Amino acid sequence: MDKLRIKSKTEIEKMKRSGEAAATVLKRIGEAIAPGVSTAELERISRNTIAERNAISSFLGYQPPDHEPYPATICTSINDVVIHGIPNENHVLKDGDIIGIDTAVSIDGYHGDNAYTFPVGNISPSAERLLKVTRSSLYDAIDEAKPGNRIGDISAKLQDGAESNGFSVLQSFSGHGIGRSLHEAPEIPCLGVPGRGLRLRPGMVLAIETMVNIGLPDVQSLPDGWTITTVDGSLSALFEHTVAVLSDGPEILTRSSLWET
Ligand code: MF3
Ligand code: CO
């Protein structure tokens, strides 16, 4: 993870462009999601959209230490897959699935990162509730992204939103600062204590993300080295926005009509 860098007004304006492109990828994929569609098809939609915007995928070829490079521009995480599912021609969506799509792109050297979990056809009432609760806890957390507050205020909202509904948040993966690097300080865990952690300042840009399991918080890695699933097989959802901390409060840089429904 790179160090925290405060962004100027001009830099935040630039980040709106990558944010818009990343949001458009999610929106286009959302329009295509249906029973019978493969996750490889969703990857093609992502690549076309990224090319159309003259953007660069932040995920394709991304290589953490001691890891294979990530082979795609999106993560496609179905049902008990929490994060980092890899698109595959053989992974075909079925009625009743939920699928988390995560994507980040850069334009002019600045990244935008977002994620959304979609229903496929008709989903169970418990899956419906998972999506609703996880998404609204993200918005409650974003409301805390204002100067004077602390990272713990954001994290606590993510945790409370999930746990007050009997769900659990992931402990081993976090949101992050974002800018010229996909991952900058600070780390933004999905759990925390109000009033604790780094104080927020205007010009910080944060990728706030939450990962919520219906069951236990425990997760495991599959042999492909990327895919993370719940240990108990329970459903998991994720939502993420890139958010600028401005003097008058948070501004979501990855907003689109997808989120207005
Ligand atoms: N959204 C995830 C993150 O911010 C992305 C994982 S990068 C991938 O950390 F390339 F591995 F997918
Ligand atoms: Co992210």
- CATH value at residue 230: 3.90.230.10
- Specify if 177 maps to a domain: yes
113 lines ligand 1 (CB under 6 A): yes
- The residue to which tokens 């093609």 are assigned: 44
Ligand closest to 241 (CA) is 2
The Cα-based distances of 185 to 25, 105, 201 in angstroms read 25, 18, 13
Counting the structural domains of the chain, the total is 1
The Å distance, Cα 164 to ligand 2 centre, comes to: 24
- Specify if 168 maps to a domain: yes
The Å distance, Cα 58 to ligand 1 centre, comes to: 8
- Specify if 1 maps to a domain: no
11 lines ligand 1 (CB under 6 A): no
- Specify if 4 maps to a domain: no
CA 175 to CA 161: how far, in whole Å? 16
CA 106 to CA 113: how far, in whole Å? 9
In the beta sheet, which residues pair with residue 68? none
pLDDT one digit per residue (tens) for the chain, 261 residues: 999 999 999 999 999 999 999 999 999 999 999 999 999 999 999 999 999 999 999 999 999 998 999 999 999 999 999 999 999 999 999 999 999 999 999 999 999 999 999 999 999 999 999 999 999 999 999 999 999 999 999 999 999 999 999 999 999 999 999 999 999 999 999 999 999 999 999 999 999 999 999 999 999 999 999 999 999 999 999 999 999 999 999 999 999 999 997
Sign of the CA dihedral with 51 first, then 77, 28, and 141 last: negative
pLDDT at site 37: 98
User: Which ligand 1 atom is nearest residue 103's CA?
Assistant: 1
Its domain, for residue 120, covers 9-260
- Specify if 43 maps to a domain: yes
pLDDT at site 146: 98
pLDDT at site 179: 98
The Å distance, Cα 211 to ligand 2 centre, comes to: 11
The Cα-based distances of 20 to 46, 100, 165, 254 in angstroms read 13, 19, 32, 5
- Specify if 51 maps to a domain: yes
pLDDT at site 261: 73
- Specify if 42 maps to a domain: yes
Cβ 76 vs Cβ 87: under 8 Å: yes
184 lines ligand 1 (CB under 6 A): no
**Would you state the structure tokens that stand for residue 12, as one six-digit string?**
């935040």
153 lines ligand 1 (CB under 6 A): no
Q: Which of 2, 75, 176 to mutate to test the pocket of ligand 1 (most atoms within 8 A of CB)?
A: 75
**Would you state the structure tokens that stand for residue 174, as one six-digit string?**
């976090």
pLDDT at site 109: 98
Bond before 186 cis per omega within 30 degrees: yes
CA 71 to CA 75: how far, in whole Å? 10
